[in-house]
Structure 1
Amino acid sequence: MDLVERYLQFAGSTLDETGQIGVRYFRQPIDIAQKADASPVTVADIEIEAMIRDRIAQAYPSHGILGEEQDSVNPSAELCWVIDPIDGTKSFISGMPLWGTLIALLKDSRPVFGIIDVPALGERYVSTLGRGTERNGQSIRTSNCDELRACNMFATSPDMFSATEFQVFDSLSRRARFRRFGGDCYTYAMLAAGKIDAVIEAGLKPYDYLPVAPIVTGAGGFMTDWNGKPLTPSSDGRVIAAATPELHRALLEETVKLQQTEIKFAAS
């Protein structure tokens, strides 16, 4: 067994445990706190991340950790784990089953693998560098949509965009076949599974986009920032994910044009 496979098995067994925590609290009375940025956090978020961090510290004490609920630990380490204990906390609180736990392992700031674990639905999406994307062990692929006018486009919430960013998204998405909001990490899972054609978002953190990027690309899709650059821990949180290179290119070209137009308009 190579090291990557060993790390992957470690992540999978850890998620088997954390999934039980999430399901135990899901749709039950639960205390909700607000973080400094006004986003909600629950005891489930805190317990899940604490368990993952504890497992990593015991098994791989030299590795770095970048998580949502606690301070980073040695983030410049050659190998660094990225954790989002509950991506979609608002969905979790609302009883919607589309929340998930996200994990990625980075080597020199690039994902080696990514995982989207969706305990309420019993689905786990895994992509390892060079091995494709699987849902519960079965290979999945993105759609073959290659035109803006033919795609269905998603974003988690209009509230995540700045005013200028939303003008870009609004102009672009109104030219798509249709657009929808909601879904959090599950939209990227459905993009990888060929059900959604494009996702355009802003305001994301590294623990939001680094674990899902391998899921999309491993299934045949493309995912970059709004300028077409690869996603790294220092990216600005604006992402374009698409089912095909042709669709990604079309979205990227239009996004760049619209950004320039909106910036000129705002400055005038």
Structure 2
Amino acid sequence: MELTTFLRHLSATARSVTLGAPVPDADNKAGAGAYDPVTEIDRAAERALRTAIEEAFPQDGIEGEEYGLVRAEAPRRWLLDPVDGTRALICGLPSWTTLVALVEEGEPTAGFIDAPALGELMIGLPGATMLNDRPVRVSGCATLADARLSSTDPYLFAGAEAAAFDRVRRAVRLTRFGYDALAYARLAAGHLDLVVESGLHRHDWAALVPVVRGAGGIIGDWEGGSDFSQGRIVAAASTALYEQAVAQLR
């Protein structure tokens, strides 16, 4: 099956589980003193995605937030976050997404950010990102003073990271919080210019990379490189804007 067609198939597979489902009860994966919610919708959507991938590409590895990794030795791997933004889901907000990435030899090469409640499927491929089959591009914003910044939650940051993020926040035109992976889709479509986050896991960021890059954007780490292992992510609408944000974060 052609890759774009298969990515659309995966989106439809997850939507058949998530879209229109009643707001579920949530379990807390974090234990006492913290809150990391997961619902049966998260689990069921990941199971459905895994089944679809197993049927089409039984030799590929699969790594998901809820059910871990199979076939770690495979050169191709699918990264799954069945519901990114479970807090939004259980609050009845439409900003939650499904994230799927295809990783080849360790590099995310294709993937999607799907916002089912909004009817928005954004697929990122080498050299192109499409929103509901229409090409999108980043804004090209080149200065912090003009930038529209987003981050999931100001309380993601503590200590030196909080101070670093605040330097960026004070330098930009405006800041909006609360959108999880949807912020990266909005950046790819030209409606936001900068996203800064910390604490992301591989299943959180893998799909963001091809979506942002396919739309002409820059996505890297807080040091100006591409080491995402620490979960510290900067996505920007231009190289100049990325470099200015990194200078503030340092």
TM-score in terms of structure 1 length: 0.88
Overall identity of the aligned pairs, in %: 36
Cα deviation, 1:170-210, whole Å, max 9, x if unaligned, reads 12211111111111111000000111010000010111111
Q: How far did 1:231 drift? A: 4.7
Q: Is the 8 A contact 1:115 1:211 kept in 2?
A: yes
**Partner of residue 179, structure 1:** 175
1:184 match: secondary structure: coil
Partner of 1:236: 230
User: Greater CA radius of gyration, 1 or 2?
Assistant: 1
> Aligned residues, how many?
247
Conserved 8 A contact 1:210-1:231 = no
Q: Which runs of 4+ in 1 moved over 6 A?
A: none
Counterpart CA distance in 1 for 2:104 and 2:141 is 32
**Equivalent runs, 1:57-68 vs 2, <5 Å:** 57-68=54-65
Matched, 1:98 2:95: yes
Alpha-carbon deviations, 1:105-149, whole Å to 9, x = none?
01001112010111111110011113x111001111111211111
- Which blocks of at least 5 consecutive residues in structure 2 are unaligned? none
More helix by percentage: 1
Alignment correspondent of 2:50: 53
- Secondary structure at the aligned position of 1:80 is classed as strand
1:248 is matched with 242
Match of 2:223 among 222, 227, 237: 227
Matches within 5 A, 1:193-212: 193-212=189-208
AA aligned opposite 1:57: E
Separation in 2, partners of 1:178, 1:255: 17
What is the identity, as a one-letter code, of the residue corresponding to 2:88?
A: S
1:39 aligns to 2:39 (yes or no): no
**Offset from partner CA, 1:45-90 (integer Å, 9 cap, x none):** 0000011112222222221111101121123420000000001100
1:3-18 → structure 2 map (5 Å cutoff): 6-18=2-14
What is the Cα deviation at residue 213 of structure 1? 1.3
SS across alignment from 1:24: coil
CA 1:251–1:19: 2 relative to 1, 3 Å? same
1:11 Cα deviation after fit? 2.5
The 5 A counterparts of 1:109-120 are 109-120=106-117
Among 177, 190, 198, which residue is 2:186 paired with? 190
- How many Å apart are 1:21 and its aligned residue? 1.4
Q: In the TM superposition, what is the alpha-carbon distance from 1:29 to its structure 2 partner?
A: 4.2
Counterpart position of 1:82? 79
- With normalisation by structure 2, the TM-score equals 0.94
The alignment yields a C-alpha RMSD, in angstroms, of: 1.4
**8 Å Cα contact 1:67/1:82 also seen in 2:** yes
- Structure 1, unmatched stretches of 5+, are 257-268
